[in-house]
Structure 1
Amino acid sequence: MAIWHRCLVWVLGWATLAAAACGETIEVASATMGVTGYNAGQAIGTDQFLGWRFELTTGLLVSEVGGHMVAAPDGGVFAAIVRLDALDALPPGFPFADSEVLATAAMTPPVPSDEVFVDLQALLVPGSYALVFGSGLYEGGMTKTGTNAAMVQAGSQDLLEGVSTDSFIAWIGAEQRWRSGIASPTHGMRFVVRGAEVASLADFELDGDVDGGDLSVWGAGFGKTPDAVLTDGDADSDGSVTGSDFLEWQRAFAEAAAPTGAAVPEPVAWVLAAVAALLVASMHALRSSQTAE
C-alpha cells in the first residue's frame, strides 16, 4: 500500500520550499531568482567559502545544486553538501570534517552572472545541512589561488520565508574559522538544492511505497558495509545494511498496512521477522553455493 501521503517537503527554519509536487522536482532555495548579468558579488575562492544552512523534515534524494553566481577569469568552484549538528551550527573541522561532507561536485559558473546547476547525488535524511561553494578542494583541480567566482547579491532576490542573514555562513581562510551573518538583509543570495522527496527511508526501491519488494532489496543487501546506500537497504544512512534497517522497513510496512490510528497486531511482527530471517538465510545460501562453484 502506498505511503506517499504527502506531496510536499516541508522545510523549517532558515530554508523554504520554493516548489514541489509528487513525482516532480523539489526545489529548496534561499531566495528568489533575480536579474542576471552581474559581474560581481560575494567572493568565492580558496580563501573564502560561502554556504547556506537549511533543514529538512523528510528525506530528499538530491539530483543537483546551484545558484545565481558569476565566475572570475579561469575560475571554477566546488559544491559540497555538509551535515550539521543543528540548524544554527557551523560545519565541523578546518574547514570540513571529511565524515560530514556527504557529496561534492565541480562546476564552472558563467560570465556574466546567471543561474547555474551541477549534478550532485546525495540522499539527505531529515536533519540540518549546509550547501557550500568554494575553491581549492575536491574534484576538478579548481585550485587557482584567490577569487574564482562570486555569489550574486541583488535587491531583486528576495529572501524566502524563514531565511535571514544568519542563514548564510562563510569560511574565512585568513582567520581559519567559520562565521555566520555574512549576507545583506535586503540583497539576497540564491542557493538552490533540487531533488525528489523520499517519503519513507524504507522505500529502498524508490517507487513510492513500502512493500515486499523493498524487503527483497534489504535481504539482497544484508551485510553490505561500509558503502551501502538507501537502494541497498540502508535506511538509517550509516553505510551498512543491518537488522536496524529491517526494523525501519517493518515499522513503515506496518504503518502502511494498518488503518490510520490502529495498533499493529503483534503477530504481524512475528510474521515479518520470520520472512526476513528466511530471506536472509536464502541469500546467504545462494552466495555460498555461488562461491563453491
Structure 2
Amino acid sequence: MRPLTKPLEISKIENDVNLASAIDIMTSLNEPVGILDLSSKKTVWLHELIKYNYEMLQNKRLSHNNRINLSKFQTQLEWIYKNPSKKRKTNFIDDIRNAYVNNGILCPYCGVSPCRTLDHYYNKALLPQFAFLPENLIPCCGDCNKDKGAKKSFGAWRRIINPYYDDYQSLLQNEPLLIVIFKENPYPSVDMKFIVTANNNLPYIIKKHINFHLRTIKIEKLHQEMISNSFWRNAKQLRKYKELLDKGSITINTHRDLVDSFISINDNLTYDWEYIIRFSLYNFRTNNWIYQSNLIKLR
C-alpha cells in the first residue's frame, strides 16, 4: 500500500513498447513450439490488450465477461515472458524490471522490501494473454509476489491493491487511509497488541478492498517492529501533553496546537506510519486507555 515511485527511465521504456509489432513477430517464429497456431487470433488478442487499460481505468478491475480464452497457449506465452528478446521486441520486460531494481524502489504492495521481480496482477496462468502486457506487470518484492500467488483478481474487493490504477489518497481529507487500534494486556506477559485496518470513513467497498490487501500481504507482520516502536514513543508523548493540560500548565488551545502539530503528516514521506499511529492514538476512543495505563513502558 505504498504509492509507486516510477524511475525516470520508465516512461521511455513504456513509450517504446510496440505490442502490435511484437505479436506479429512472435506469432511468425517457430519457437516456442505451437506459437504459430496463435497467429489466427492476433487481432482479437491485440484488441484485448488495448482494452485492458481502458477497462482498468473505468472499473479498476477486469470483468469475467468477454475474455478470450488463450489457455491452450499458456505454455508458449509463459515461455515468451520468461525469455525476453530484442528479436521478439519483448526486451522491455527486462528493462522494466531492471529499472526498478537498479533504482532501489520499494515494493508498492508492502512498502518494506526493494522491488526485485515483476508480479502479474492478473496471473499469467489464468489469463496468459496478459503475460507480457506492461500494465499487468507490477514491480514488487519476492515475498509479496509469493504471497499474492495465483489469487484471482476479478472480485470487487477480494483483490490486491493495484498501484497503477488504485488511487485512494484523495478520498479522505486530513486523515490516513489506514488506522491502528491498540489493545492493552491482550494476553499474559503481552503489554500491547494492535490491529491495522482501513479507515472507517472510507466507502464500504474500498474498506473491504484495503483490508483484503492488508491480510494477504501480511502488513501487520511485516511492519510489526516499526509500529510497536512508534506506538510506545508516541503514546508517551501524548500522555505528557495530557498531563500538562490536567495540571493546568498549558491551556486547552495550547494543548490542541501541540497535538495538531504532533500528528501532522510528513509531506516528504509516502508511507508515513508515524502519522498513521499518532492520528490513531489521538482520534480513536478505543485507544484512550494509554492515558490511564500503568504499563511501565508508558511512564
Same fold (TM over 0.5): no
Normalized per residue, which structure has more helix?
A: 2
Higher strand share: 1
TM (normalized to structure 2)?
0.28
Higher relative contact order (Cα pairs below 8 Å, separated by 6+ residues): 1
